[in-house]
Amino acid sequence: MSIVYHSSAVRGKFWQRWLAENAPDLDMYLWPETGDPTKVRYFVAWEIPDDLLSRFPHLEVIFSVGAGADQFSADHVPEGVSVVRMIEPGLTNHMAAYVTFSVISLHRKMPRYLQQQQRKLWLKHNAVPASQCRVGILGLGNLGSAAARVLTHLGYQCSGWSRNRKHIDDVTSYFGDDQLAAFLAQSDILVCLLPLTHLTRGLLNRDLFAQLPRGAGLVHAGRGQQLNHEDLLEALESGQISHAVIDVTDPEPLPEEHPFWTHPSLWLTPHIASETHAESSVKVLLDNIRRHEQGRSMIGLIDMNRGY
Ligand code: NDP
Ligand code: OXD
């Protein structure tokens, strides 16, 4: 039985050493090495080559090295092969921290204070308590719910929107398309942590921004293709959105002349909101392989029809 790993070399070497010690029955190869292709059961990658099955005829599972699996085109996933995404504490906590940092920055008017500093201006603005700041999280899954828990702990009024109703202490659950408008109307800071699917592509657009309270903040750490850039620029211009923190764009990176780079009301980070942590994720990978071997369901199994 073997695993082929096709992603960051540093993490790959760590995983290889760890697995050699903790699962000597599993051979892990770092791409382009594959060992005997007929022994390969598991492929771990961010992106997959389109001839996977002809290379590895006995492939059983494709593991995404990330939390998302939208980068795998369904056409390239061989019939009968499972796709599993990464759900691991290192990545989850890192995302909760990014969202918390961004929400606090917007709530506490940090963009404004940084601009004031450049002008040597010592000027205080009213600060509403966290309990009066309503944070709405689009996507209340693994990452969204982790962020919500930290924010409620800090006293923010949190709600989330998902397909199905959620039960999380102190977090108001809105669900389904019918409840989106009500959810948006009470989101002073909107956070997007949705997976990219045919239903969420382009969702962050003019219509959606218009339903937020005037002057709302936006934190986008889902996927670039969910955001309409022109519509965001227009909403920032009109003041409908006061400030945006954007971690994901389409394309990545943006071209040099793109207005997001220099916009005074936008912070841009280069898709670093979170990432898979080598130490914690290899344990999750091994646990999933053992589950698969024992015929138990794997954690993070993707429903390819649903798209996440
Ligand atoms: P999950 O699958 O755990 O959660 C997704 C959530 O979105 C679920 O609550 C789901 O609802 C909801 N959802 C999906 N489609 C819809 C829809 N059409 N309408 C309403 N709700 C919907 O994913 P994660 O929390 O683990 O990750 C979310 C995304 O974060 C990833 O897919 C990826 O795009 C992004 N990400 C970004 C990173 C970065 O560095 N910027 C790093 C890691 C991830 P329900 O629960 O009811 O099914
Ligand atoms: C992920 C990402 O999906 O880094 O893990 O975006």
Ligand with an atom nearest the CA of residue 8: 2
- Give the residue, by CA position, lying nearest to ligand 1 atom 36: 222
CA distances from 99 to 135, 136, 161, 272 (A): 11, 12, 16, 11
Q: 2-88+276-293, which class in CATH?
A: alpha beta
Q: What mean pLDDT comes out for the span 300-308?
A: 94
Tell me the per-residue pLDDT of 258-279, one tens digit each, with 9 for 90 and over: 999 999 999 999 999 999 999 9
> For residue 199, is it left (φ>0), alpha (ψ between -120 and 50) or beta?
alpha
With CA atoms as reference, report the closest residue to 218 among 175, 247, 250: 247
Ligand 1 pocket check: which of 149, 166, 194 to mutate, most ligand atoms within 8 Å of Cβ? 194
**pLDDT tens profile 144-181:** 999 999 999 999 999 999 999 999 999 999 999 999 99
Tell me, in angstroms, the distance from the centre of ligand 1 to residue 254's CA.
23
Q: Are both 2-88+276-293 and 92-268 of the same fold?
A: yes
The two beta strands, 171-175 and 157-162, are parallel
Q: Give the tens place of pLDDT for each residue, 199-240.
A: 999 999 999 999 999 999 999 999 999 999 999 999 999 999
Confidence (pLDDT) at 233:
98
**Does residue 302 have its Cβ closer than 6 Å to ligand 2?**
no
Q: 11, 223, 243, 292: which one is catalytic?
A: 223
Q: How many CB atoms lie within 10 A of CB 269?
A: 14
Q: How far apart are CA 17 and CA 214, in angstroms?
A: 53
Judge if the beta carbon of residue 69 lies within 6 A of ligand 1: no
Q: Which helix (H) or strand (E) segment is 134 a member of?
A: strand 134-138
Q: Note if the bond before 251 is cis, omega within 30 degrees.
A: yes
For the chain, the domains span: 2-88+276-293, 92-268
Q: How far is the CA of 239 from the centre of ligand 2 (A)?
A: 30
d(CA 152, CA 89) in angstroms, rounded, equals 19
The secondary structure of 145-190 as a DSSP string is: HHHHHHHHHTT-EEEEEESS---BTTEEEEESGGGHHHHHHT-SEE
Q: Which residues contact 109 (CB under 8 A, 6 or more apart)?
A: 125, 127
Q: Does domain 92-268 have CATH number 3.30.230.80?
A: no
Is 271 labeled as catalytic in the residue annotation?
yes
- Interval between CA 195 and ligand 1 midpoint (Å): 4
29 C-alpha to ligand 1 centroid (Å): 30
User: Could you tell me if 244 and 190 are in contact, meaning their C-beta atoms sit under 8 angstroms apart?
Assistant: no
4-14 burial code (b ≥16 CB/10 A, e <16): bbbbeeebbee
Is the CB of 98 within 6 Å of ligand 1?
no
Q: How many CB atoms lie within 10 A of CB 115?
A: 13
If pLDDT is split at 50, 70 and 90, which confidence band does 78 have?
confident
- What is the number of the ligand closest to the CA of 249? 1
